Structure 1
Amino acid sequence: MKPRITYLLFMIWALLFVWPATTLWAQEENMADPEFTAMMAEIRSLRNQDRRVEALESLERATKHAEAAENTQQIIRCDFMYAEIYLDLERVPEAQFYYDRMNEQLETVEYFYGNAAGLYIDARISSMEGNNNLALSKLIEAKKESNDRNLLNRITLSEGEFYAQLPNSTDRAITRFNALRENSDPFEKDYLRARAFMGLADIYIAQDDTENAISNAENALKLAQDNEFAKIYEYTNRLLVSLYQKTGQYDQAIPAALSLLNLRDSLYSVESDSVKSSRYNELMNKTLLEQVDRQRAEISELSESASRSEITVILTTSFLTIISLLAISLYRNNQIKLKTNDLLQTKNRELQLARDAAVQAMEAKTNFLSTVSHELRTPLYAVTGLTHLLIEEKPRKNQLDHLKSLKFSGDYLLNFINDILQINKIDAEKLEPLEVDCNLHKVLNDVLNGLQQSAKEQRDELILDYDTQIPSHLLSDPVKLSQIFMNLVGNAIKFTKDGQVEVIARLLKREGEYAHVYFEIRDSGIGIEAERQESIFDSFEQGSIQINREYGGTGLGLTIVKSLLGLFDSTIHLESEYGKGSTFYFELKLKCKDLLIEELPFEDAKVDYSFDDLHLLVVEDNKINQVITRKMLSKKEITCDIASDGTQAIELAKANRYDGILMDIHMPGISGVEATIEIRKFDPQIPIIALTAISLDDSLEEFYAAGCNDVVTKPFKPELFYDKIGENISEARVRKSTT
């Protein structure tokens, strides 16, 4: 009896720990089984799209189909696919289980595909254990055993990836990946191409070949996007964010970073992965329990011919084995929880990195545009200044026409640069609305008066419908309100001919110290097509290319309006019918200041300043600008000395007596702000006017705090330039002479 019991015990332990399938007789695989073929195609697609839970569920159905048909070769194919999927998930114990089960079945049947597939799985396991050389040798053996095109392509892909990890083997890796770029695989053509492009991108990054890296990553991303290869899509987006930033392609980096943020948004993805991990365990445990059920059935058969004592020993052994399996399962679940916690921390870090990358790309773009707009002002000052001087020198009529065109182009370019700077300041959160005394009726009147000439050229009628119930004095930001209305009314005039533009202001309600005011700008112009109304507030959008060509403009006006209203916590709305006009409307919540006395209307009197015998110090580092400024001053018979930098300006101000100083702010060495601070230490009275091509980081408050009396932004209108000199320098000289 004892030898028999020992033999039975050995068989039970072998069944439970090696988990072999029941004995299968060798048979031909039914290659003409369309249902099984369709199942395998679905499994490959789900696996490549990283929908592995669904792939495993489909694979379970395919396995049952093969077992019902008692088709050993189909069962081997299913076990091979199980092993591949679990290796993709880096779950080696589960992959090893199916690999062992596949090998057990291969002992009972001759199947060329199974031998090659087994070597391929063994090679992948060796690579995951860090032995790529051994893995490559097994892949070479696998190639000799198979003529299946899909398996050979998979082997080629693994060779490329293994060679890429070995020193001095990059060329071999590139050869394998290039072979897959134009493969003719019957099942996974696009997936293999995407993986090949991704592998090439990684290699070129390591070689610092950014151009080829971007090209291959973009190809991989396109294939991943078209075919929903989730992991490849995520990985290539991450690569491209880094590569675009490296090459300064910030407009490309931002969408890639945002795609990455959307893909890995919040903790949802982590919870999703945790759920997937639990589902993998359920599927694996289900397989183990099915094995136990089979073994119980075998025990039941044995019990019919065995003695009671033999059955007791066998049942006891089975019970202990099941307890062991449960203990192993509990241990695995505990390990999964620990791994999930690690995954949570890792993905949080990745999310933070992606967010930082998006912010960094946005900041870099903002700083780049700010620098460009600032640097353009210096040559533009030369263009507008020289044009003004030439116009004043009484040119011939044909020359005057050209000069006026040049002046128009300079003004257009200046407006464009100002718009870019304005948007950058808003995007960089460097603009905040002020709360100062604001007469809303005066703001609207000033805007309409300033646009009267444009309206006359278009033969438009400007109408202001102002509600007298609106409080006379409010606390707001009149400059930003003027910018909003200038853009909206200016746009309405530009797109309206022989019509009317109406500005409406209505008091909706008073709530304590706040007034809710409704504004509407209505025109009878060309209108906006319905499908373009949503995008009309985007940067550089003007409805269509034809509109841009006919009416000109930058397409930034409405973007600025939308952004400025955002500073006031307001939103702009649009109603328009193509060919019949447009209406823009919004509401503002404005703080009232009723205690202010109503201003008496008055007309600004034009002051004629005396510039006789004025002698100024001009601080300017640009040679062309020195010539232009000197020439403009000489037109008013003002003499000047020139300082090319801040240090020289300080020395000249100490050694000479000047009526005033025109101070450039941005200079090499000592800046205009620093020079002003130094001059104020020994001459606190001399008028100083800052001349600056203002940039994103410039602050007018900083200029005034340093000691400047006024600020003029370059390039400037000559009339404004002379008025500032008159207000700050001529009048200061008059006051000084009378005291």
Structure 2
Amino acid sequence: MGVKSPLLLCMLLCIQLCFAQNESNSTSDVMSIFDEFMSYRHENKVDLALEALNEAANIAESNEDSKLLLDTYHQYARLFLEQGDQETAIFYWDRASILLKDTSYSYGQAFHLYLDASLRYSEGNNFQALKQLEESRKLSNNRNLTNNILLLEANIYTNIEKYDDAIKNLHALIVNSDDKERAYLATKANLQLAKISITLNDLEESIIHSKAALELAQKHGFAKEIKNAYEQLSKIYETNGNYSEALIYAKSLAQIKDSIFNSEKVKLDLDTADKIRFNHQMNELNKLQAKNEELSESKNRSEITAILTSAFLTIISLLAVSLFRNNQIKLKTNDLLYTKNKELELARDAAVSAMEAKTNFLSTVTHELRTPLYAVTGLTHLLLEENPSEHQKEHLKSLKFSGEYLLNFINDILQINKIDADKLEPLNVDLNLEKVLGDVVESLQQNANEKNTELILNYDRTIPKKLLGDPVKLSQIFMNLVGNALKFTKNGKVEVIVKMLKKEEDNVKLYFEVRDNGIGISEEQQQHIFDSFEQGSIQINREYGGTGLGLTIVKSLLGLFGSTINLDSDVGHGSSFYFEMDLDYETKEGEDIAFELSPEEFQFKGLHVLVVEDNKINQVITKKMLTKKEITCNIANNGNEAIDLAKTNKYDAILMDIHMPGISGEEATRQIRKFDKNIPIIALTAISLDDSLESFYEAGCNDVVTKPFKPEVFYQKIGENIFRSKMEGSI
């Protein structure tokens, strides 16, 4: 017994060593076959690559080596996917999934996720594919797998236009140190970089990478990559007009297609693929049949149980397949929705940026036009005041008319721009509605006289006097409506009607109408009359002029008050624009004392004012306009000078420009108000998109005159503010 025990132990050790050696030999054999397969795959010898994999699968199965068999199935799946046969690729991927359930193999799991990402990428599910690649990278640090992940990521980044990330990955692959696919990965990376360069319109860079790929592919016999490189170079040279080079590569492409991608080779590849796929599918069926026979012969189960079990498994399999397909569809749909949402977000951001750029451009242009226009209108007024000859007067009047027309056009564009940019908000301040409308009618009376048209204000006296609203915007609304009516009415009548429809405790509903008996508007033209730059027809625009923005401004301003403009019109019988508006009013009895002054009461002689203006031409014009009324002035070139002069001198008023280098007119006004609360400060400004009348008043300005201004408005504002201040002080 003592002698037999050592002998038995030796025999067991020998048997174990034999098994270990056989296992090692089988692994070595399969790895060698995998190397052959890799070489055939790179050279696009699909039939030989499939035969190599088939041999590896047989060895793995005979040795019951599940890891090697799993690797083989993975390579089958990758090869068929590269050939565009997604259905067969999924077949082998499914076989690998079954093996993975019972095998602890981190590299196999990582490669499985990489193949899943490749399948999703082929279906267009880019973001799902990126997620799977990220999971794959966590499970294995295998160098070859990592490099293949980098390549697939680069392709996905190219698809979703993240070119910087794609280029970063591809440059890393060009200098890779992969011990299995170094040259192949570098070739693929160069081809993809060339493709990106074409997209970015960098043809020179594309040529460099295409030639680098071609050189590597020719050196190592990468047939498909040689074809792709020829194809790219031919297209690039054709694009940049180098047709001789394009022809050379086109001929080379035709030759390689004839020699490598001929129909016989394709048929051979397909035959081999079909044969191997058929054998594997038959093996699967044989295994299932053997299991069924084993179950049917089992003494522990009855025939009925076996049938039911088989049916149950069949149903479960069908349900599993159905669920898998539905899940794939769902994932693809989700990925598509995600991609579309991203595209919509980008489109939305681009549209917003374009709108902001347009708004800022128009604001800048209209603001900058006001400075030279101030010189045109100001100098024209001064020249007309200096008793020019009759023929000069005619030219100057034409110049004045052109300047005022251009000013109105600029004002309209700025107003539309502010509305589009949501820069306007309605005020709710004390409002003398009758005075606002009376001022509009009075200011347009001269236009009515020139047209021989009667302009009437029909105002309901029962309307409360102390209303709350926005006098500036209401004035703009009626200036546009009445001005529009006068433009198209000659030898007729324009009537402004205001009625009270309903009065409640602190709110009134008012009815407004501007009615004329002019040329009228056809039903077809009424459909578009409130659109920007729309005047009904080209003939009307040529005959009557104008920008076609007035009614658009009216519609937009009324929208701020929650009101809607309506139109009734008959061609040849006139038009009626009407709307309703709710306004609050104060119920307290008594009226505030109002100081209403007429221009005749202004005694300008002897007044001394401070003009704050950085533009030299504007300084000269403003000073001359003041001198005409015997008003003396000092000039401050900026806000700091204005503050110093206001501290050391006594002025009747300050004319403050808002936009100046250094501190702005608003800030200068705030500083002056710290030591002088009473002096009238009138803002003279070419209002831009970001300016707000409310901010001027908050800073301490008493009034605002927009440049370029009409001389009568200029004098009126100076007189009103200086003499009202003096009258209020005396009372």
Give the aligned partner of residue 697 of structure 2.
Answer: 704
**Is the 1:92–1:125 contact (alpha carbons within 8 Å) kept by the matching residues of 2?**
no
The residue type equivalent to 2:549 in the other structure is L
Aligned equivalent of 1:400, options 388, 393, 399: 393
- Mapping of residues 3-82 of structure 1, within 5 Å: none
**Is the 1:438–1:474 contact (alpha carbons within 8 Å) kept by the matching residues of 2?**
yes
**Per the alignment, do residues 654 and 531 of structure 1 end up closer, same or farther by CA in structure 2, a change over 3 Å counting?**
same
Q: Distance in 2 between matches of 1:525 and 1:174?
A: 73
**Is the 2:194–2:209 contact (alpha carbons within 8 Å) kept by the matching residues of 1?**
no
Give the aligned partner of residue 357 of structure 1.
Answer: 350
**Is the 1:474–1:592 contact (alpha carbons within 8 Å) kept by the matching residues of 2?**
yes
Give the aligned partner of residue 524 of structure 1.
Answer: 517
Give the aligned partner of residue 478 of structure 1.
Answer: 471
**Per the alignment, do residues 502 and 165 of structure 1 end up closer, same or farther by CA in structure 2, a change over 3 Å counting?**
closer
Give unmatched runs, 5+ long, in structure 2: 1-57, 63-72, 75-117, 129-150, 157-168, 175-182, 211-231, 241-276, 299-305
Give the aligned partner of residue 452 of structure 2.
Answer: 459
Q: Percent identity?
A: 63
Q: Distance in 1 between matches of 2:360 and 2:636?
A: 29
Give the aligned partner of residue 641 of structure 2.
Answer: 648
**Is the 1:659–1:733 contact (alpha carbons within 8 Å) kept by the matching residues of 2?**
no
**Is the 1:689–1:712 contact (alpha carbons within 8 Å) kept by the matching residues of 2?**
yes
The residue type equivalent to 1:426 in the other structure is I
**Per the alignment, do residues 490 and 135 of structure 1 end up closer, same or farther by CA in structure 2, a change over 3 Å counting?**
farther
Aligned equivalent of 2:610, options 607, 613, 617: 617
Equivalenced residues, count: 512
Deviation of 1:326 after TM superposition, in Å, equals 4.3
Cα displacement string for residues 229-273 of structure 1 (whole angstroms, at most 9, x for unaligned residues): xxxxxxxxxxxxxxxxxxxxxxxxxxxxxxxxxxxxxxxxxxxxx
- Mapping of residues 542-581 of structure 1, within 5 Å: 542-581=535-574
- Mapping of residues 260-275 of structure 1, within 5 Å: none
The residue type equivalent to 2:423 in the other structure is K
Q: Distance in 1 between matches of 2:654 and 2:728?
A: 17
Q: Distance in 1 between matches of 2:719 and 2:155?
A: 81
The residue type equivalent to 1:673 in the other structure is E
Deviation of 1:654 after TM superposition, in Å, equals 4.2
Q: Distance in 2 between matches of 1:92 and 1:729?
A: 70
**Per the alignment, do residues 137 and 670 of structure 1 end up closer, same or farther by CA in structure 2, a change over 3 Å counting?**
closer
Give the aligned partner of residue 583 of structure 1.
Answer: 576
**Per the alignment, do residues 343 and 631 of structure 1 end up closer, same or farther by CA in structure 2, a change over 3 Å counting?**
same
Deviation of 1:688 after TM superposition, in Å, equals 3.1
Q: Distance in 2 between matches of 1:600 and 1:688?
A: 22
Give the aligned partner of residue 673 of structure 1.
Answer: 666
Q: Distance in 1 between matches of 2:649 and 2:155?
A: 81
Q: Distance in 2 between matches of 1:136 and 1:325?
A: 43
**Per the alignment, do residues 461 and 157 of structure 1 end up closer, same or farther by CA in structure 2, a change over 3 Å counting?**
farther
Give the match's secondary structure for 1:697: coil
Residue 381 of structure 2 is aligned to residue 385 of structure 1: no
Give the match's secondary structure for 2:392: helix
Give the match's secondary structure for 2:603: coil
Q: Distance in 2 between matches of 1:472 and 1:617?
A: 37
Cα displacement string for residues 667-687 of structure 1 (whole angstroms, at most 9, x for unaligned residues): 111222222333344455544
**Per the alignment, do residues 126 and 310 of structure 1 end up closer, same or farther by CA in structure 2, a change over 3 Å counting?**
farther
CA root-mean-square deviation? 5.5
Cα displacement string for residues 182-222 of structure 1 (whole angstroms, at most 9, x for unaligned residues): xxxxxxxxxxxxxx9xx99xx99xxxxxxxxxxxxxxxxxx
**Is the 1:164–1:173 contact (alpha carbons within 8 Å) kept by the matching residues of 2?**
no
Give the aligned partner of residue 246 of structure 2.
Answer: none
The residue type equivalent to 1:569 in the other structure is G
Give the match's secondary structure for 1:667: coil
**Is the 2:427–2:469 contact (alpha carbons within 8 Å) kept by the matching residues of 1?**
yes
**Per the alignment, do residues 624 and 593 of structure 1 end up closer, same or farther by CA in structure 2, a change over 3 Å counting?**
same
Using the size of structure 1 for normalisation, the TM-score is: 0.57
Deviation of 1:551 after TM superposition, in Å, equals 0.3
Q: Distance in 2 between matches of 1:476 and 1:427?
A: 22
Q: Distance in 2 between matches of 1:498 and 1:543?
A: 22
- Mapping of residues 174-573 of structure 1, within 5 Å: 323=316, 326-327=319-320, 329-331=322-324, 333-334=326-327, 348=341, 350-467=343-460, 470-471=463-464, 473-510=466-503, 513-573=506-566
**Per the alignment, do residues 124 and 527 of structure 1 end up closer, same or farther by CA in structure 2, a change over 3 Å counting?**
farther
Give the aligned partner of residue 722 of structure 1.
Answer: 715
Deviation of 1:694 after TM superposition, in Å, equals 1.9
Q: Distance in 1 between matches of 2:383 and 2:412?
A: 28
**Per the alignment, do residues 668 and 569 of structure 1 end up closer, same or farther by CA in structure 2, a change over 3 Å counting?**
same
Give the match's secondary structure for 1:490: helix
**Per the alignment, do residues 630 and 520 of structure 1 end up closer, same or farther by CA in structure 2, a change over 3 Å counting?**
closer
Cα displacement string for residues 20-63 of structure 1 (whole angstroms, at most 9, x for unaligned residues): xxxxxxxxxxxxxxxxxxxxxxxxxxxxxxxxxxxxxxxxxxxx
- Mapping of residues 627-638 of structure 1, within 5 Å: 627-638=620-631
Deviation of 1:638 after TM superposition, in Å, equals 2.8
**Per the alignment, do residues 166 and 671 of structure 1 end up closer, same or farther by CA in structure 2, a change over 3 Å counting?**
closer
The residue type equivalent to 1:549 in the other structure is R
Give unmatched runs, 5+ long, in structure 1: 1-5, 11-16, 19-82, 94-122, 139-155, 176-195, 205-290
**Is the 2:613–2:638 contact (alpha carbons within 8 Å) kept by the matching residues of 1?**
yes
Q: Distance in 2 between matches of 1:514 and 1:573?
A: 22
**Is the 2:125–2:332 contact (alpha carbons within 8 Å) kept by the matching residues of 1?**
no
Cα displacement string for residues 535-589 of structure 1 (whole angstroms, at most 9, x for unaligned residues): 2111111112211111011111001100011011111122333343323222222
> Computing the radius of gyration over CA atoms, which structure comes out larger, 1 or 2?
2
Deviation of 1:383 after TM superposition, in Å, equals 0.9
**Is the 1:160–1:172 contact (alpha carbons within 8 Å) kept by the matching residues of 2?**
no
Q: Distance in 2 between matches of 1:584 and 1:633?
A: 41
Q: Distance in 1 between matches of 2:186 and 2:522?
A: 62
**Per the alignment, do residues 373 and 172 of structure 1 end up closer, same or farther by CA in structure 2, a change over 3 Å counting?**
same
Q: Distance in 2 between matches of 1:602 and 1:673?
A: 27
**Is the 2:197–2:203 contact (alpha carbons within 8 Å) kept by the matching residues of 1?**
no
The residue type equivalent to 1:697 in the other structure is D
**Is the 1:373–1:417 contact (alpha carbons within 8 Å) kept by the matching residues of 2?**
yes
Q: Distance in 1 between matches of 2:504 and 2:357?
A: 43
Q: Distance in 2 between matches of 1:663 and 1:585?
A: 39
The residue type equivalent to 1:529 in the other structure is S
**Per the alignment, do residues 704 and 125 of structure 1 end up closer, same or farther by CA in structure 2, a change over 3 Å counting?**
closer
**Is the 1:473–1:596 contact (alpha carbons within 8 Å) kept by the matching residues of 2?**
no
**Per the alignment, do residues 342 and 657 of structure 1 end up closer, same or farther by CA in structure 2, a change over 3 Å counting?**
same
Q: Distance in 2 between matches of 1:406 and 1:542?
A: 25
**Per the alignment, do residues 530 and 343 of structure 1 end up closer, same or farther by CA in structure 2, a change over 3 Å counting?**
same
**Is the 1:381–1:625 contact (alpha carbons within 8 Å) kept by the matching residues of 2?**
yes
Using the size of structure 2 for normalisation, the TM-score is: 0.57
The residue type equivalent to 2:469 in the other structure is S
Q: Distance in 2 between matches of 1:92 and 1:386?
A: 66
Aligned equivalent of 2:681, options 681, 688, 692: 688
**Is the 2:599–2:719 contact (alpha carbons within 8 Å) kept by the matching residues of 1?**
no
**Is the 2:193–2:209 contact (alpha carbons within 8 Å) kept by the matching residues of 1?**
no
**Is the 2:686–2:708 contact (alpha carbons within 8 Å) kept by the matching residues of 1?**
yes
**Per the alignment, do residues 482 and 677 of structure 1 end up closer, same or farther by CA in structure 2, a change over 3 Å counting?**
closer
Give the match's secondary structure for 1:519: strand
